[in-house]
Structures are given as structure tokens and as C-alpha cells.
Chain A
Amino acid sequence: MAGKTEDYFSYTKKLFDPSRINEKPEVFKGIKVLDFSHVIFGPVAARILAQYGAEVFKIEMPFVGDLWRFGVYWGKFWKHSSVCFHFVHYNKYFLSINLKSAKAKELIYKLAEQADVVVENFAAGTAEAWGVGYSQLSRVNPKIIYLSCATYGQYGPLRFFPGWDLLAQAASGAISLTGYPGTDKYYKLPDYLGDYFPGNVGALSLVMALYHRKKTGKGQYIDLAQSEALMRILPNFTYFSITNQELERVGNTDPTMAPSGIFKSRDGKFVAMAAATDEQLRALFSAMGQKKLMAEYKDSFDRLHPRNARELHRIAEEWVSKKDSIEIVNLAKEYGFPVAEVMDDFQLANDEWRRQRGSVIAFNDDMYRKFVLPGPSAMLSRTPGRVKWLSRPLGYHNRYILKTFFKLSEEEIKKLEKERVVGYWDDRPGIKPPVYYDIEKDPIFNYQVDGRGQTK
């Protein structure tokens, strides 16, 4: 066989080499995205296109800005910015323009003429009322791909209901699945998964729509409901329709595998362990030194019955409690059954493997300097996603876009500023630059067309 001489892992190491990502091509180079969205759901969809090379214009109200600029964990701003905002807005251009003014609308329509994609996630109908809905922008540019994100979608009786990730989790039924049965302990899915997951689904729909446009030349309107995207991942509806029973909270275990659970090891660490197949269960029993047990649990459907699953869970729990976590991981590696230590935030941020892989990136930004953020979980060998810059203060790219894209002169921009059509930050953290940063000397913020300051 060809190429057999080289070891597989040294081949893949060269294929995926994270240090060479910036030399590789970008898929969506030249694609322009108008991003009217805010908070997480919509912005994530637009950001994924930016990650793979699209130019995304994030449009915000002057002096107000995106709500999520202030969405900080425990009130902690980082260098006058929100770290959560950085993650959903990297690689974007920040244009702060007052959509309510006629002049701004003129500019936006001009931008829409050349844009390929529009993303918004206001309550249904809001974008239309503001004159930037699909019906208006598709008139300006019939080839446009327009993604409307909402908790309940654009039609149907619930469409006007406002939403947060919590409500999407509730409306889809996902919220009642995590917790201890028979208690009042409910946990929601953390970290706004109810925004991020549908946001990624939105990105998938955009990529597909772009693909379709490439084939047929047609743009389209996409109506993405957060709740429906969450419903798509739940087996509960199908389970209910077949068994007539509710599949509710299941405790700290996976009802599709036995044994499975998160257990405490002798050294006080938490270890997730499962046996998903006969082969894996056999491996687990071998590691336990209890091969004989396999005869008892050989039927893969029968062992999932709560009575058997409970017993297997007990056996696994007892075994883990008598071993150190490292022993269990080593046994799992040797015998071949799934085990993982529970990783917390700090461990994840500092994990050597993730740094090598490029799924945690120590990024050096011009404005915010060192920041550690996650890379993609899907690594593309030829056209990888990348981080080019973090989010920027409100209106940071105003001058850059107005001069390069709209070819406005400095005087015209000054006039727009005076009329408050475009604007910048005020003194609040979240929208202003970090305290150490000299914004007056910034070549992009004070963009000059004559080439001075075109360092980037």
C-alpha cells in the first residue's frame, strides 16, 4: 500500500499541524455577512462563518451596544470587556450605526446589495418593522440568504413570545431531563447550551444555503426556531410514542448504557465510565476480574432494564470506589472501555493535549493581548477555522468600513458622527477599550485611506 512507510500519527501530525493553520486557505473568503443579531444565538451562527473566512459586519446601536457586552460571569469584566462576548464575536467587524435613522438605512441597504448572508435574532417581526426584514432586503438583493433566529420561529401562535436559552430549553422539554428523579432537583443545561447548539444549527443551515446558492444561484429565507433545534436532539418524543411512558430525569447515569455513570474514585476524583456494547462490557468485566458476570448480563437490551442497570451501576460504583482514578483510566486504555475523568474549567483551559491539538488556543491579540479560547472540535485539514482578532469596542471598525466599503471621506464621516448616525462607546465597561490601550494611535480605529496606518 502507498504511504505505508510513514507512521500514521506522524502523517496526521503534519496534516493537521496547528502552527500552519494561517497558511491554509479560507473557505468563505469574499462572503459578506450582515449580522444584526445579539446575545448568543444569532451571533454564533455568523461567527462560525467568520471563523472560516467570511467578512462579518456586526451592527450595533451607537452608545448602547449588544446586551451581551455586559453579559459577564459574576460581574467580572476582563480588560473592560466580556470574555463571553469575545467568544461569540471574534473575527468580526464592528459597525455601530443607528438603524432608526434614514441615512443609516441607506447605508445598510447599500451594504445589503453586496452582502451574501444576513443574520438576525429579534422577536419575530421586529426586523421587518425596522425595514431590514427579508421582504425588504430581498428586494434590494434577491440572491440574499436571510437567517431569522427566534425561540419559537417566525410563524405559529407562540411567535411573539420572547425567549432566552432557558425558555427554549423549557419549550422543547429539554429542561426537565436533567436532575435526580423523585426529588425537586432540576438542573438546566449550563453555559447557554440552548443558545449555542441552535446557533451551530443555524451555521449549518447557512452553509447549506450557500452551497445551494452556488448550485442554483438562488438565495433563500431561513426560519430557525431555537426550541425545534433542541427538540431534534431528544429521543424522548419517540420513546413516549412507542412505550407510552415518559422518559424523564434519569439521575447521574445514561439509561442507554449499563453500567454508566459518574463515580467517585478512592482518591476522591470523579470518573465517568460506561459500557456501551457487549465488547466494552466484556472488557470492563475483564478489568474487574469478574469475567463470569458476562454470562448474567449478555443480553444487551435486557441489561438496560432498570433492575439490571441498577445492579450493574452498583457493581461499577463499588469497583471505582476501591481504585484510584489513574488506575481506572489505565485499565480502560488497556482493556478498551470508555472512561474519562471529569474535567473542570481550570483543567480544560490548561490541558496540554488541547493546546497541542488546537482545540484550546492561546491567542495573542493586538488589543487584548493574551487570551485563551477554544478552537473548533472539528479540525479541517485543508481549510481549518482560525481566530484572527477578538471582539472590539463598540464602533471600532466604523471608520474602516465607511472608508473602505462606502468610500466616504473624513468630512462625511464627521457629519454622520455629528448627526449621531454612527457612534462609539461611552464610559461603561463592556463597550470601551481596555484601560492600557491607546486608541488614538490605533491604525484601524483611525483608519486613513492614504495607506498610513494600514498595518493590517
Chain B
Amino acid sequence: MSKAKDKQQEQVLVRYGISRRERQQFLASMMSPEGKPEVLSDILVLDASQANFSGIIAASFFAEFGAEVIKIEPPEGDPARRMTPYGAKANGVGIPFLMEARNKKYLELDLETAAGRKDFNKLAAKADVIIETYPAGQTDNWGIGYRQLSQANPGLIYIAITPYGQYTDRAKEFRNMPDSDITSQAASGLAANIGDPDLSPEPYNWPFRAGAWIGWYTSGLEAALGGAIALTYKANTGEGQMIDVATADAYASLVGYPVFIGYTWEKARPRLGRHDFTLYPYGFWRSKDGIVAIAAPRDHDFRALLKILKLWKIEDDWRFTFDRITDILEQIEKLYGLIEAETVKYTSDELIKKALEYSIKAARSKWRGGGVPIIMKVPTPSEAMQNPHWKIRNSFQEIEDKKLGKFIIPTNFIKMSESPPRVKWISCGIGQDNRYIRQKYLCD
């Protein structure tokens, strides 16, 4: 049986003229960005975002796919340069800004002045995409909004990112409120669903902020995705359009849960702490040496977990998915306790080994449905980074810069065989490309 399968797989690989062992290397070289064309090599993007990372992140995605991205800043620089964890910086630049300074060019241009707006107008006539995060209507007042720019450049794609968007009464009412990640998380249903259950002591039962810029990254990604879709339409018809991203929507629109649960259940979900509301077991448990994440939610996965933890005696009570619904907290805490009583007896490595051995055995046995319980140590990011897997996949890139020093950024997050995104350089001096940009775009 397995021999036949091997043969089948070999046949598949014959096409490439390689053996199974070489397949890995083949895929790695297939996905390498070296010498490959860039998707957006003929696209010019202006990023005029101010104190808002959604715009910077959206611009990064365009830049990674090869667009010429010009970051436009006033002489003192974008305040986003100074948003950084605990004030950590490299050569005066904050870490998030540094990390997103991918393949970009920097132009000093003060849009508050008439001269700056005149230059911006000239640039905009040649641009394919503009990204801005000013209060709704601000650029329109200045005469450099979508309404005016699209007359000279009908193919322009104009992305505006604000907390509450460009239309509706609320957008008008809240137009002067600036954006931040934490308010985006709060307004879009993320914070409300993190935290301990109601009866826990304060402040643990409060809504909680996710420990990464989820609000800003989802807004930035959605903006880039919308921009890419608009670029496709432009390639088809030559027509541009305006894109309106509201960061107060970002998370709810991405995952959907808050909205359709709010509708079908007609009330808000309570916070469940370490439990999930659909799958169980699916979360954190203590082991002898730290926290482990366990995912064994399907019935056969759960049975397997019980076997490796020597807990088969409780199988009868918790057999089906519907025995393990987390709506009654007392009940599920009981199961949590039963599992925890076993997991604390082992170190995390022992648990991982047990789960792996079981999975491999189950996969090889004739009796399918053996289940795949997955146990994993909860790593810190720097521990996660150490895995050789990421080295083989080039998931991180070491950057060495005279001014900025040596550091690591996560890259190559999409592997594509023909036109992969890539990071060519990191740079972030204010106005460092003034001359180049003025010569190329502002001479006439």
C-alpha cells in the first residue's frame, strides 16, 4: 500500500526530474525571490499617512511587491517614528517604523503649506496609489483630495484610512479624532473578547488589549488588499477609485464573529479567559516546566489526548464535542482541572513527545481516525524564531546598515514561484531621497 503510494509520489516528481528527497530543495529554490520580476514594478505609491501605522503598513505591502513607494513627511518627520515599545530605538527611529521601512523612499514635503501641496499635486498626477490618514475631508479642503486629484488623474486609487471612515454622520462627527491601535481594537470587538470571565477578580475580568497591533495591521492589510483589487480593475479598465478604510471596523470585518454572534445569539459573548467558545480542548495548560498549548478538539483527537494522558476513565463523560461545549463554565473548568492534574506531572518536552509518538503511530496504523492531539510549548517570540525551520524558509532577514546597525526583521511571508514579495533594503532618513524624487517626478 505504502509502496504504491511512494510510486505515485515518485511519478508526480518525475515531471521535475527529481527524487523525493530533492523535492524540499527544489521547492526552496522555486520560491527564492532572486532574479524574479516584481508584480508592481511599474506602480508609484505615495504614502502621506501621519501618525497612523495602518497607512505605513499598507504602503509596506505595496513596497514588498515591488512598487515605488514614496513616504511623504513634514520636516520634523512622521510622529509614527516615535511610537515604539518602551521607547526602544535605533538611530533615533522607533522599532515598528524601522521594521516597516521596507523598500521605501523618503520625501520631505509639508502638506500644511501651499508649496508642499503644489508639489504633492504634481506627484499625484503621476501616482497610481495614494495613501493618507488625515481627518476625513482635510485633504479635500486643501484641494488635494480624491475629488480634485482624480480629475487630472482618473486612474488614481486613493486610500483614506481613518477611525470612522469618509461617509456617514458618525464619520463627520468624529472626523477630528485621531487613530490608535488600542481604540481600533476596542471599537471593533477584539478587546471585549479577551480577558477572564465575569466572576474573576478585577481587573482580570476587564476587556483586554491583544499584545500586538492587531487593529493597525488588519486595517493596513485590508487597505492593501483593497488597493490591489483596485489596481486589477485599473489594469482592466483604466479607471481608478477611492477606498475608504475605517479602523474601527477592521477586526470585526476580518473575523466576522462579533457581528454574526451578536445577531444570532442576540447578546454579547462573555469573556472566557483561557477557553475557546467553539473548540475544546483548545488552549493553555500548565506543565511541570511552563505553559503548554493543547489543541485536540475533534472527538478522535480528544480520545487520543485522553489516552496519552492516561485519562481514559473519563472518556464516557466527555466523549462528544457536544459534551465539551464551553457555555457552562463550571462544567468546562472541571474538565480543565482533570486534564491539568495530568499535564502537571510531565515536563513540556515529555508531553510533546507523547503526542508526537501517538500521532505518528496513528497515522501509520491501518485503523484511521487515531486522532492528532497537538501539544506545543508556549514559546516567546525569540524562542519561536530559533526553530531551524524558519532558517530554511528564510522567514527572517538580517539587515546591516551603517546608521541603523544590525537587526532582524520578519520577511518573505508569502512564497511565490514567479513574483514573490521581498525586502530589498531598509532605510528611513527623513527626506533622504529628496533629490532623486524631485529629479524624477518634479522636474517639469
Given A197-B221, A257-B83, do A84 and B257 touch, yes or no (CB 8 Å)?
Answer: yes
The answer to the question of B330 belonging to the interface, with a C-beta cut-off of 8 Å to chain A, is no
Identify B419's interface contact among A67, A133, A220, A242, CB under 8 A: A220
- CB of B310 closer than 8 Å to a CB of A: no
Identify which of residues 97-140 in chain B touch chain A, using a CB-to-CB cut-off of 8 Å. 98-99, 136-137, 140
Complex CA gap A153/B168 in Å reads: 42
* Contact residue among A78, A246, A337 (Cβ-Cβ distance under 8 Å from B380): A246
**24 residue pairs from A and B, CB less than 8 Å apart:** A3-B147, A16-B167, A74-B325, A162-B374, A173-B380, A177-B210, A184-B291, A187-B273, A228-B412, A235-B95, A237-B382, A242-B88, A262-B191, A270-B191, A301-B84, A304-B85, A333-B174, A336-B177, A342-B192, A345-B193, A345-B259, A381-B244, A382-B233, A383-B241
Q: Which residues of A contact B246 (CB under 8 A)?
A: 357, 359, 377
Q: Taking CB as reference atom, which chain B residue is nearest A88?
A: B256
Inter-chain contact B415/A12, CB cutoff 8 Å = no
**Interchain CB contact under 8 A, B262 and A347:** yes
Most buried by B among A129, A210, A231, A235: A235
A220 near B87 (CB under 8 angstroms)? no
B194→A272 contact, CB < 8 A: no
A55 to chain B, nearest CB (A): 16
Query: In the bound complex, do residue A381 and residue B242 qualify as a contact, i.e. CB atoms below 8 Å apart?
Result: yes
**Distance, CA A62 to CA B258, complexed state (A):** 31
A262 touching B182, Cβ below 8 Å:
yes
Give the CA-CA distance A25 to B241 in the complex, in Å. Answer: 12
**CB-nearest residue of chain A to B273:** A187
B264 engages A337 (CB within 8 Å): no
Is A33 an interface position by the 8 A CB rule?
no
Interface size class of B (residues with CB under 8 A): 35 or more
Listed stretches A200-208, A405-413, A431-439; interface member? A200-208
Please report which residues of chain B, range 173-197, place their CB below 8 angstroms from some CB of chain A when the two chains form the complex. 173-174, 176-196
Stretch at the interface among A247-255, A285-293, A445-453: A247-255
Contacts of B274 in A (CB 8 A): 186-188
The 5 residue pairs across chains A and B that have the minimum distance between CB atoms = A349-B262, A177-B211, A173-B381, A378-B226, A272-B186
Check: B47 CB closer than 8 A to any chain A CB: no
Contact A193-B239, Cβ < 8 Å, known A254-B180, A337-B178, A371-B263: no
Q: Is the CB of B378 within 8 A of A205?
A: no
Interface residue stretch chosen among B27-35, B311-319, B431-439: B27-35
B9 part of interface (Cβ distance < 8 Å): yes
Compute how far the CA of A302 lies from the CA of B87 in the bound complex, rounded to whole angstroms: 6
User: A184-220, CB under 8 A of B: which get 1 and which 0?
Assistant: 1111111111001100110111011111101110111
B322, A234: Cβ atoms closer than 8 Å: no
Q: Is the CB of B27 within 8 A of A380?
A: no
Set of chain A residues within 8 Å of B322, measured between Cβ atoms? 75
Contact partner of B388 (CB less than 8 A), chosen from A157, A180, A224, is A157
Q: Judge whether B165 is part of the interface by a CB distance below 8 angstroms.
A: yes
Partner of B326, one of A74, A190, A222: A74
B182 touches A170 (CB 8 A): no
Cα A233 to Cα B87 in complex, Å, equals: 19
Q: CB-CB < 8 A to A242: which residues of B?
A: 88, 90, 95, 405, 407
**What are the residues of chain A within 8 A of B424 when measuring CB–CB?**
none
A172 CB to nearest chain B CB (Å): 6
- Check: B75 CB closer than 8 A to any chain A CB: no
Provide the bound-state CA to CA distance between A363 and B99, in Å. 40
CB distance from A161 to the nearest CB of B (A): 8
Contact: A374 with B209, CB < 8 Å?
no
Which of B212, B239, B277, B396 is in CB contact (< 8 Å) with A174?
A: B212
Known A200-B254, A379-B243: A86·B86 in contact at CB below 8 Å: no
A254 proximity list for chain B (CB < 8 A): 180-182, 209
Q: What residue of chain A has the Cβ atom nearest to residue B383's Cβ? A: A173
B229 at the interface (CB under 8 A from A): yes
Q: How far is the CA of A266 from the CA of B375 in the complex (A)?
A: 43
**Alpha-carbon distance A63/B185, docked complex (angstroms):** 40
Give A249's nearest chain B residue, CB to CB: B211
Instruction: Tell me if B293 and A228 are in contact (CB < 8 A).
Output: no
Interface pair B189/A187, CB less than 8 Å apart? no
Residue A112, interface by CB 8 Å? no
For residue B55, CB closer than 8 A to chain A, the reply is no
Check B407–A377 contact: CB distance below 8 A: no
The minimal Cβ–Cβ distance linking A367 to chain B, given in whole angstroms, is 15
A136 CB within 8 Å of chain B: yes
A188–B325 alpha-carbon span in the complex (Å): 18
Q: A186's contact among B212, B251, B291, by CB below 8 Å, is which? A: B291
